[in-house]
Structure 1
Amino acid sequence: MASYNVTIKNFAFSPSQIEIKQGDKVIWTSEDTVAHTVTADGGEFDSGDMVKGDPPFEHTFGTTGEIPYHCDHHGGMRGKVTVKT
């Protein structure tokens, strides 16, 4: 199982799209001083508010498919995790 990092900075997820394998983990870390969330469009996960200095949010992906996500506070912040077998 592998881990992948996504940084939240300047009101963006970087990288905004990531491809992983089933069972891998994605770790989101905020570098912004304003609150953001990492919220799956389909409800699979939700980080709650995160700001710089908060612990990272981690999610392990057990099922395959495309999981789009967003920030609840900033509608233009979007990302996608594609999980392959």
Structure 2
Amino acid sequence: MIPCYRLTFIGTDPLHENRGAGSLLVRWGIERSKAEHVPIYLESTLEAAPFYKHLGFTVGETVSLQLPSISNQVDNFYKEIIFTFIP
């Protein structure tokens, strides 16, 4: 198994967005990655993708999951993007 960091479930309360807390946490992970020469992997929502791109992550695969229909709605898909950061 190859050593790596996996960042999961990083989010900011909408009432406190754009104050740097999320960037601070991810940048800490990036510094650890660089210091230890270990890659980072994470899964991101489509909405958060620009945030990770801005911090230097590279887009990998897109993962889709079909969710069950609710109240005869059109089939709903949940999508995520897998990102990597290689120091």
Instruction: Please classify the TM superposition score into its range, dividing by the shorter chain length.
Output: 0.3 to 0.5
Q: Under a length normalisation based on structure 2, what TM-score does the superposition of the two structures give?
A: 0.39
**Bigger fraction of residues in strand:** 1
Greater C-alpha Rg = 2
**Bigger fraction of residues in helix:** 2
Q: Under a length normalisation based on structure 1, what TM-score does the superposition of the two structures give?
A: 0.39
